Amino acid sequence: MIQWRSVRHLDPWIVLVGLALAGFGSLLIYSASLTSYPEGIQGLSHPAIRHLTFAAMGLVVIGLMAWLDYRLLGQVTPTLYAVALVLLVGVLVVGTTIYGAQRWLNFAGLSIQASEVAKLLVIVVLAKYLADRQTEIGELRTFLGSLVIVAVPTALVFLEPDLGTAIIFGAAWLGMVAVAGVRPQHILAFLATLALSTPFVVVALMGDYQRERIATFLNPALDPLGGGFNMIQAEISIGSGGIFGKGLTEGTQTQLDYLQTPSRDYIFSVLGEELGLMGALLLLALFTFLLFRGLRTASLARDPFGRLIATGIVIMILFQVFINVGVNIRLLPVTGIPLPFVSEGGSSILMLFVALGLLESILLRHKQIEF
Amino acid sequence: MDFFSGERRWRSQKPRRREDAHSPGRKFLLLHILIVLLFSILTIQLVRMQVFQADDYQAQAENNRLRELQVLPARGLIYDRNYDREQPLVENVASYSAVIVPADLPAKEEAAVFDQLESLLGMPAEEIAERVREKRQDGDPYEALVIKDELDRDTALMLKELSSYLPGIDLQVDARRNYLYGELTAHILGYVGRISAEEYAALKDDGYIFNDQLGKTGIELVHEDTLRGEPGKKLVEVDAGGRQQDVLDSQSSQPGQSIVLTIDLDLQQRTADVLREFMGASDNAAAVVMDVHTGEILAMVSLPTYDNNIFSETLGEEELDVLLNDPAKPLVNHAIAEMYPPGSSFKPITGLAALQEDVATPSTTIVSNGYITVTNEYDPSVVYVFPDWAALGTLDFYGGIAWSSDVYFYYLAGGKQDEGFQGLGEERLAQYARSFGLGEPTGVDLPGESAGLVPDAKWKERTVNEMWYVGDTYYFGIGQGYLAVTPLQLLDAIVAIANGGELLRPQLVKEVRDSHDHVVASFGKDVRRILPVNEDYLAVVREAMRQSVSGGAAQSGQVPGLAVAGKTGTAEFGVAGEGEGLHTHGWFVGFAPYEDPEIAVVVFVQRGGGSQNAAPAAARIFDYYFNQRYVAEQEAP
């Protein structure tokens, strides 16, 4: 399906940065797991090794996705959309509840985080919808149609409840419709409606746990030993790391169990404590580089479909990073979003490599017309 | 950004496409800016936290991980004067309590932890939850809260096991005081108890911890600083569950020093037995035995007494109420804390004042017809009668004391205007009483000592709002009326007469020993003042007191083979009931041997008589000290 000469169009940086981030994550997971695995790495089941294994699988996934013409996906978008909805409904019906939210589907011995898969599927579906309507892109009908496509899965993850992923769906949609070229008036009108309905959302749609989290975020002292504990401890961990950090595996907060889920949602706190501001800036630099390469892919894409997929992926990763780090450093209320490539979690990291594979697939085909 | 510009270059070479009308290039520029903007927000916050507030956060992280634990020292022991390392009066034994450190409880599983405790301790989980909640609100959640103390060994072991996987729960092992002689030494030793909120607030900078114990009364209180020792410190690293990970630094504790009392345990026991026998049905009684040369207290008994061990355990409200509401006041040390009119046992002091002030000489004779009369200054038809206990006839000074003539001492104290006999008057009498240490605490090493009361005209005007009459002086002279003393004060005054004029501070502590048995401090006699009385007059009074026992009113104080000198007192108090006389307190105060005094004894029996109860009791104590005990010691080796 590919012409081998075009392999030179592949962007090695995307793969390298993705792997670098996963390796970075593996180191942090190793340090964060020392309390549970005081003996260090003694087998393949160690979380750090598992993380590397997923990264290695990710490399294969990138290859597969790059080889596969992304435009084939455009031909099966109704199926993809159906799969996404089935996963999200399925998780609500038979999902496993962890940390107060139903997010996992147990399938053939694998535990799949449905929203991680659904995110990417919906981006592809949305990209196809918008790409097919380039001529009538300024019409309200198109705008509302895209809104409906994204609103259904957003509502489903909101019910899990997973406010963070719902926000990422919204952000990806907003960025994609903007890049697709909908009328700015439509976007502004939508944002105004959203702002006006916020009080209604807070009162009627939010669960108690979400309101509590927001109240705790505003004043963690309300519950210093309960829900506020994680926020305060994460903040202390990062702040106490200073400029250069306490050294990998030397963080007192991390190693003495003051952080909860230190290898998942709070892995940035481990980074902040043990590697300090320098480590944090390195991480942000890697992400910036990766996202810029993603935008380059978007701008090089041969068609709107590829451009929109790339845009959606960039925005998805950007907002995951921003929300995850923002929660860790107490800019945002607690919501369970993993740090892309770095947090432990197979579904998340594999789907991210699928996304990188899509980017490569788009690059691989962008200049085929010229040859 | 060069990716972006490169892309632009490529774009510019191409014919413009339709979608370029919507200028996606500009949108990508906006997306680049969005990325930089969002990451800049994160960076600003990171710099704020990790650069500008890093010190603050580091302090918080240290505060999380480091706990400074107090290592409590072993409390010093207390011994009687015959120091034997193996035979203390009090020992430290282990006691187990269940404690919770609220901050270490697992946030989500508190209820489960409480349920576990409920089944182990048999204490409702709601009550535990409530106490933890209160502690969180009012106190430091990092401080251990005692949920239940006095656990038995089995429960303690189970709790210890449980605590290894229930964060926040711990077994606290404290030393509890076990007073081996309980009631016998309770008033002297006192007891320790858990530190109160107020005490903790005042003492936490001195190394006391929240659940600490400290002396509450008695020697335990007065010598708290000596007995406590120096607490040690241990700096430990703990994890989020409060489990100790590592000891970073430690400074060992210095055990408390031991106190060797002046008390002789055998004599104390005998004194208590004798007093109990002679107090009869009276509410309470006290006796003190003192070394006349050093002021050392050899025995001090107050009855009824209490078992101070009950305060080492958690005292129930009812138990405490019973002790507090008992009319005989078992918690009060009647030898020092309550004051009573001394009655005739005060006469030696009146006599000494009269001799020193030339109001009388040893040969001054006065006739007692059984009473004395005083005519009202303004209305001669009103005549007041002051009775003697008997018509004792003609008495010289020795006879006056020996037969305890009230009339004799009415003369010495208040004079007899119509016969031209000048008495001491209240002012001089009060002055002498005070110079004998009455009206002020003796300074014994025990808390709650009463100062007693030495009245004078000014005092009466101020307090009773009445003028001082000559009758008041008469009563004062025979130890009645407003005068009030503690048994220890009276004994201390008589000791000064016996030893030739040194008023001593009563001693309870002989020496202090450190944990290696070395004497680190010993206490000799502490002279408060020299009596302002000629030594010859002291000898006169001593002889008069000897005559009182050998052939006077205090003959019930005689001991075979021993020359006891002493003075009884039967002090009237209160208001006469119908058809009966006033209630009386019985006193005996004396010393022996007469020729070369060694010890002095005071016996006080509330609602008793001097010669019926107090003097025979004192005689038994003297007898034990000089005859039986001496013989026993001789036979022992």
End-to-end Cα, chain B, rounded Å: 107
User: What value does the mean pLDDT take over residues A279-304?
Assistant: 94
Is residue A311 less than 8 Å (CB to CB) from chain B?
Answer: yes
Give the pLDDT score at B577: 47
Q: CB A329 to CB B45 under 8 A?
A: yes
Question: Is the pLDDT at B220 greater than 50, yes or no?
Answer: yes
Is residue B27 less than 8 Å (CB to CB) from chain A?
Answer: yes
Between CA B16 and CA A153 the distance in angstroms is: 36
Is residue A249 less than 8 Å (CB to CB) from chain B?
Answer: no
Angle at B164 between CA B160 and CA B168, to 5 degrees: 95
Is residue B10 less than 8 Å (CB to CB) from chain A?
Answer: yes
Option in A236, A277, A329 nearest B51 (CB): A277
Q: Whole-structure pTM over 0.80, yes or no?
A: no
Between CA A367 and CA B206 the distance in angstroms is: 81
> With contacts defined as CB-CB under 8 Å, which chain B residues touch A331?
41-42, 45
Least confident of A217-226, B139-148, B345-354, B437-446: A217-226
> With contacts defined as CB-CB under 8 Å, which chain B residues touch A296?
3-4, 6-7
Nearest to A298 by CA among A349, A363, A216: A363
Nearest to B449 by CA among B531, B523, B508: B508
pLDDT-derived band of residue B546, with 50, 70 and 90 as boundaries?
A: very high
Burial B52-80 (b: 16+ CB within 10 A, else e): ebbeebbebbeebbeeebbebbebbbbbb
**C-beta of residue B478 within 8 angstroms of C-beta of residue B347:** yes
Give the pLDDT score at B243: 74
> With contacts defined as CB-CB under 8 Å, which chain A residues touch B41?
322, 326, 331
Question: Is the pLDDT at B14 greater than 60, yes or no?
Answer: no
Give the pLDDT score at B8: 45
- Give Cα B314 to chain centroid, integer Å: 19
Q: CB B42 to CB A181 under 8 A?
A: no
Interface of B with A in 218-277 (CB under 8 A): 237-241, 245
A129: tokens are 């919808």
In the numeric block, the tokens 């997973």 are attached to A162
Q: What is the tens place of the pLDDT at every residue in A170-204?
A: 999 999 999 898 999 999 999 999 888 888 777 77
B110 versus B303: the higher-pLDDT residue is B303
> With contacts defined as CB-CB under 8 Å, which chain A residues touch B19?
134, 181, 304
A201: tokens are 């959302």
Percent of chain B at pLDDT exceeding 90: 48
Give the pLDDT score at B13: 46
> With contacts defined as CB-CB under 8 Å, which chain B residues touch A253?
61, 64-65
Question: Is the pLDDT at A330 greater than 80, yes or no?
Answer: yes
Give the pLDDT score at B446: 93
Give the pLDDT score at B119: 83
Structural element, H or E, at residue B46: helix B24-47
Give the pLDDT score at B574: 65
Give every CB contact of residue A172 below 8 A, 6+ residues apart in sequence: A119, A122, A123, A126, A150, A312, A315, A316, A319
User: What value does the mean pLDDT take over residues A312-324?
Assistant: 96
Give the pLDDT score at B9: 46
Most confident of B141-155, B217-231, B572-586: B217-231
The letter for the amino acid at B80 is D
Is residue B33 less than 8 Å (CB to CB) from chain A?
Answer: no
Q: What is the 3-state secondary structure (H, E, C) of B425-459?
A: HHHHHHHHHHHCCCCCCCCCCCCCCCCCECCCHHH
Parse chain A into domains and list their residue ranges: 76-346
Least confident of A196-210, B251-265, B384-398: A196-210
Give the pLDDT score at B632: 53
Between CA B473 and CA B414 the distance in angstroms is: 5
A123 versus B125: the higher-pLDDT residue is A123
Strand order in the sheet with B169-179: B145-151, B90-100, B169-179
Interface of A with B in 313-332 (CB under 8 A): 314-315, 318, 321-322, 325-326, 329-331
Give the pLDDT score at B10: 46
Q: What is the tens place of the pLDDT at every residue in B35-68?
A: 999 999 999 999 999 999 999 999 999 888 888 7
Give the pLDDT score at A81: 95
User: What value does the mean pLDDT take over residues A305-316?
Assistant: 95
Other beta carbons less than 10 A from residue A43's beta carbon: 8
Give every CB contact of residue A61 below 8 A, 6+ residues apart in sequence: A350, A353, A354, A357
Burial A171-189 (b: 16+ CB within 10 A, else e): bbbbbbbbbbbbeeebeee
Give the pLDDT score at B53: 94
Is residue A226 less than 8 Å (CB to CB) from chain B?
Answer: yes
Give the pLDDT score at B11: 45
User: What value does the mean pLDDT take over residues A10-21?
Assistant: 94
Q: CB A240 to CB B54 under 8 A?
A: yes
What are the distances in angstroms from CA B32 to CA B20, B65, B220, B237?
Answer: 18, 42, 77, 46
Between CA A298 and CA A296 the distance in angstroms is: 5
Option in B3, B7, B51 nearest A243 (CB): B51
Question: Is the pLDDT at B569 greater than 50, yes or no?
Answer: yes
Nearest to B531 by CA among B314, B355, B316: B355
Question: Is the pLDDT at B7 greater than 60, yes or no?
Answer: no
> With contacts defined as CB-CB under 8 Å, which chain A residues touch B35?
288, 291-292, 295, 314, 318
Give the pLDDT score at B6: 41
Residue B370: DSSP 8-state: S
Q: What is the tens place of the pLDDT at every residue in B484-515?
A: 999 999 999 999 999 999 999 999 999 999 98
> With contacts defined as CB-CB under 8 Å, which chain B residues touch A299?
4, 7, 11, 24-25, 28
A271: tokens are 């980074």
Give the pLDDT score at A97: 67
Option in A134, A227, A298 nearest B28 (CB): A298
pLDDT-derived band of residue B151, with 50, 70 and 90 as boundaries?
A: confident
**C-beta of residue B481 within 8 angstroms of C-beta of residue B472:** yes
B12 versus B386: the higher-pLDDT residue is B386
ipTM greater than 0.95, yes or no? no
Nearest to A119 by CA among A154, A89, A76: A154
**Phi, psi dihedral angles at B358 (to 5 degrees):** 60, 25
Nearest to B347 by CA among B506, B534, B458, B497: B497
Percent of chain A at pLDDT exceeding 90: 59
Question: Is the pLDDT at B420 greater than 80, yes or no?
Answer: yes
Is B85 buried (19+), middle (13-18) or exposed (0-12) by CB count in 10 A? exposed
User: What value does the mean pLDDT take over residues A349-367?
Assistant: 91
Give the pLDDT score at B529: 93
Give the pLDDT score at B12: 43
User: What value does the mean pLDDT take over residues B435-440?
Assistant: 94
Least confident of B23-32, B192-201, B387-396, B548-557: B23-32
Q: CB A137 to CB B22 under 8 A?
A: yes
Other beta carbons less than 10 A from residue B526's beta carbon: 13
B317 versus A268: the higher-pLDDT residue is A268
> Does the bond joining B593 to the residue before it have cis omega, within 30 degrees of 0?
yes
> With contacts defined as CB-CB under 8 Å, which chain A residues touch B49?
235, 238-239, 272, 329
Kindly compute the dihedral angle of the four CA atoms of residues B558, B503, B408, B391, in this order, to the nearest 10 degrees.
-20
Q: What is the tens place of the pLDDT at every residue in B451-484?
A: 999 999 999 999 989 889 888 999 999 999 899 9
Can you tell me whether residue B583 is helix, strand or coil? Answer: strand
**C-beta of residue B605 within 8 angstroms of C-beta of residue B345:** no
In the numeric block, the tokens 């009627």 are attached to A204
Between CA B590 and CA B568 the distance in angstroms is: 8
Between CA A339 and CA A321 the distance in angstroms is: 6
Give the pLDDT score at B2: 43
Question: Is the pLDDT at B76 greater than 50, yes or no?
Answer: yes
- Paired sense of beta strands B78-79 and B258-261, if any: parallel
Question: Is the pLDDT at A126 greater than 80, yes or no?
Answer: yes
| Maximum Cα–Cα distance across chain B | 151
Question: Is the pLDDT at A14 greater than 80, yes or no?
Answer: yes
Q: Look over chain B and give the mean of its residue pLDDT values, rounded to a whole number.
A: 86
User: What value does the mean pLDDT take over residues B326-334?
Assistant: 88
